[in-house]
């Protein structure tokens, strides 16, 4: 997923009735203010957890050239909050204008950020805390109605809460890449019996509404709502599991060019990739490293840390394919009884602990078949949470797309270089996860919390 950069405010997308239209979030100003406060507070508590569980050397270190030092993320979170809530919404003078370039995600790549004059950890914490204190004052005094798109229904505050949670997920990835003793702990998901239900679900053909024009805190690439025609297809009831993926390994899947996109085949050969990231074979069994702990790969969990190329190869080996982004969203949102698209598979209510594995409550996916209360009307499970799911689709704008509030969030990434992921993972907070939410990354990426499910045509 992309990172935020400096603000270049624009108007709300043309033709979008604005954030206040969503029935699930249509509320008075004080209820919206309380919602924004909860979202901001939850995000900051998670940021503190991720940056206070290790000592200063780990905050300053670059644990992978793919990731920033944790201390960069910490100050960047504060800087973006200042840019949007204090300067853009409230019109205040810059607190630390000299650091804007250092924490502009587009000005410096992740690989070069350790060489920048970063704020030391304590100074970064003080800066972020001071920004937050002033931002809460702005929240208290901001009108959520009145025609200003950036503040309508608290959009700017929701955007900043989502931004922080997205960086919290990035920091959690850094923790997974970090070498050293375990620093984070969380209870495991509740055990469930091995899933023995239908292997796939038929999604009927016909039109459905994709995207949104009314979700108050939806980001620009989720907009606008539009009709899509979809042919009937079958989709896996649950994500592909470690056990199923091991069958692909045992059958020589990484040694057979038939299953691989040519670019993917070249990539795995060049980098000697023979299994999902963090896996290794030892003593006749597969082990994995997970947040500093080495453990046997659990066969019943959704497979994790696979690239798009690996997901695509498995699907071909299995005689199937990856679902398109449109198919994925129809499976997740379409209610055949009413013909409408829900906010989430289970309905319009915000996610709860019985619906999905979200919010870093756990540090692993739940077993396949978990969360029956979170199933879609057609019976597809775990579409939200657990693992980001690769789709077959390139990251492209919807018809009528307009960048808001700045083109660097989505527009500069549109094109065939990036593949779309859907559904969120255990590392995603509910504020940054919806049935319409779109993630994207290069097809070689594996450090992200990515898995997949497969599909096939109904004909």
- For residue 23, pLDDT over 90 is answered with no
3-state secondary structure of 60: helix
445 is in an annotated binding site: yes
Quick check: 419 and 308 in contact, CB under 8 A? Answer: yes
Full strand arrangement of the beta sheet holding 388-395: 439-441, 415-422, 388-395, 450-451
- For residue 118, pLDDT over 60 is answered with yes
Quick check: 199 and 411 in contact, CB under 8 A? Answer: no
User: Counting beta carbons within 10 angstroms of the beta carbon of residue 368, is it exposed (0 to 12), middle (13 to 18) or buried (19 or more)?
Assistant: buried
User: Looking at domain 200-242+305-457, does it have CATH number 3.90.1580.10?
Assistant: yes
- For residue 253, pLDDT over 70 is answered with yes
Q: Mean per-residue pLDDT for 285-289?
A: 97
163 is in an annotated binding site: yes
Q: Does the CA dihedral 424-428-433-436 come out positive or negative?
A: negative
pLDDT computed for residue 14 by the predictor: 30
321 is in an annotated binding site: no
Nearest to 321 by CA among 265, 390, 252: 390
Q: Mean per-residue pLDDT for 329-353?
A: 97
Residue 459: pLDDT band by 50, 70, 90 thresholds?
confident
Q: Mean per-residue pLDDT for 237-260?
A: 98
Q: What is the pLDDT of residues 295-319, one digit of tens each?
A: 999 999 999 999 999 999 999 999 9
305 is in an annotated binding site: no
Residue 209: pLDDT band by 50, 70, 90 thresholds?
very high
Please state, in angstroms and rounded to a whole number, the distance separating the CA atoms of residues 384 and 351. 9
- For residue 20, pLDDT over 80 is answered with no
Q: What is the pLDDT of residues 373-423, one digit of tens each?
A: 999 999 999 999 999 999 999 999 999 999 999 998 999 999 999 999 999
Q: Mean per-residue pLDDT for 36-43?
A: 98
Give the residue extent of every domain in the chain: 29-177, 200-242+305-457
* Percent of the chain residues topping a pLDDT of 70: 94
* Percent of the chain residues topping a pLDDT of 90: 91
Q: What is the pLDDT of residues 435-457, one digit of tens each?
A: 999 999 999 999 999 999 999 99
Please state, in angstroms and rounded to a whole number, the distance separating the CA atoms of residues 455 and 202. 10
pLDDT computed for residue 147 by the predictor: 75
- The angle that helices 155-177 and 70-81 make with each other, rounded to 10 degrees, is 180
| Prediction pTM value | 0.93
Residue 155: pLDDT band by 50, 70, 90 thresholds?
very high
User: Bigger pLDDT: 347 or 143?
Assistant: 347
In angstroms, how far is the first alpha carbon of the chain from the final one?
35
Q: What is the pLDDT of residues 193-206, one digit of tens each?
A: 999 999 999 999 99
227 is in an annotated binding site: no
pLDDT computed for residue 113 by the predictor: 95
Q: Mean per-residue pLDDT for 284-296?
A: 97
Residue 4: pLDDT band by 50, 70, 90 thresholds?
very low
- For residue 73, pLDDT over 60 is answered with yes
pLDDT computed for residue 16 by the predictor: 32
- For residue 145, pLDDT over 90 is answered with no
Q: What is the pLDDT of residues 164-187, one digit of tens each?
A: 999 999 999 999 999 999 999 999
DSSP string of 379-390, one letter each residue: -----SBSSEEE
Please state, in angstroms and rounded to a whole number, the distance separating the CA atoms of residues 96 and 118. 13
112 is in an annotated binding site: yes
Quick check: 159 and 149 in contact, CB under 8 A? Answer: no
Average pLDDT, the chain: 93
The CATH class of 29-177 is mainly alpha
pLDDT computed for residue 19 by the predictor: 33
Q: Mean per-residue pLDDT for 201-214?
A: 97
- For residue 100, pLDDT over 50 is answered with yes
Residue 116: pLDDT band by 50, 70, 90 thresholds?
very high
- For residue 24, pLDDT over 70 is answered with no
3-state secondary structure of 342: coil
pLDDT computed for residue 112 by the predictor: 93
Name the token pair of 398. 């919807």
76 is in an annotated binding site: yes
Name the strand (E) or helix (H) holding 422: strand 415-422
- For residue 18, pLDDT over 70 is answered with no
């Amino acid at each position: 997923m992309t990172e935020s950069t400096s603000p270049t405010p624009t108007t709300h997308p043309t033709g979008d009735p604005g954030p206040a239209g969503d029935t699930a979030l249509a509320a008075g100003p004080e209820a919206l203010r309380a919602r924004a406060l909860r979202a901001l507070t939850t995000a900051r508590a998670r940021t503190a957890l991720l940056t206070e569980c290790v000592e200063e050397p780990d905050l300053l270190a670059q644990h992978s050239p793919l990731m920033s030092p944790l201390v960069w993320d910490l100050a960047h979170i504060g800087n973006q909050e200042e840019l949007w809530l204090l300067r853009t919404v409230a019109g205040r003078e810059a607190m630390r204008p000299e650091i804007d370039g250092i924490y502009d995600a587009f000005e410096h790549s992740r690989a070069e950020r350790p060489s920048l004059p970063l704020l030391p950890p304590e100074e970064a914490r003080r800066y972020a805390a001071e920004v937050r204190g002033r931002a809460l004052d702005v929240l208290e005094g901001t009108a959520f109605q009145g025609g200003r798109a950036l503040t309508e229904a608290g959009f700017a505050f929701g955007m900043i809460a989502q931004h922080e949670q997205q960086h919290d997920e990035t920091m959690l990835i850094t923790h997974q890449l970090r070498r050293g003793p375990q620093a984070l702990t969380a209870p495991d998901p509740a055990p469930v019996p091995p899933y023995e239900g239908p292997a796939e679900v038929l999604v009927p053909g016909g039109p459905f509404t994709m995207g949104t024009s009314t979700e108050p805190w939806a980001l620009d690439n989720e907009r606008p709502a539009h009709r899509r025609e979809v042919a009937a297809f079958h989709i896996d009831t649950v994500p592909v599991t470690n056990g199923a993926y091991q069958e692909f390994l045992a059958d020589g899947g990484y040694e057979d060019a038939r299953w691989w996109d040519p670019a993917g085949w070249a990539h795995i050969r060049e980098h000697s990739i023979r299994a999902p990231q963090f896996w290794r074979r030892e003593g006749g069994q597969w082990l994995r490293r997970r947040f500093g702990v080495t453990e046997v790969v659990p066969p019943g969990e959704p497979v994790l840390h696979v690239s798009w190329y690996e997901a695509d190869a498995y699907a071909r080996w299995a005689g199937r394919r990856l679902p398109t982004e449109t198919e994925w969203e129809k499976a997740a949102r379409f209610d055949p009884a009413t013909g409408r698209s829900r906010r989430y598979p289970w309905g319009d209510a915000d996610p709860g602990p019985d619906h999905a594995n979200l919010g870093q409550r756990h540090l692993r996916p739940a077993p396949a078949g978990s969360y029956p209360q979170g199933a879609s009307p057609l019976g597809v499970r775990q579409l939200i949470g657990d693992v980001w799911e690769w789709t077959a689709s390139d990251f492209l704008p919807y018809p009528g797309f307009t960048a808001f509030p700045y083109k660097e969030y989505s527009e500069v990434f549109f094109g065939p270089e990036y593949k779309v992921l859907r559904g969120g993972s255990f590392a995603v907070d509910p504020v940054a996860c919806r049935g319409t939410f779109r993630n994207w990354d290069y097809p070689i990426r594996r450090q992200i919390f990515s898995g997949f499910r497969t599909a096939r045509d109904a004909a």
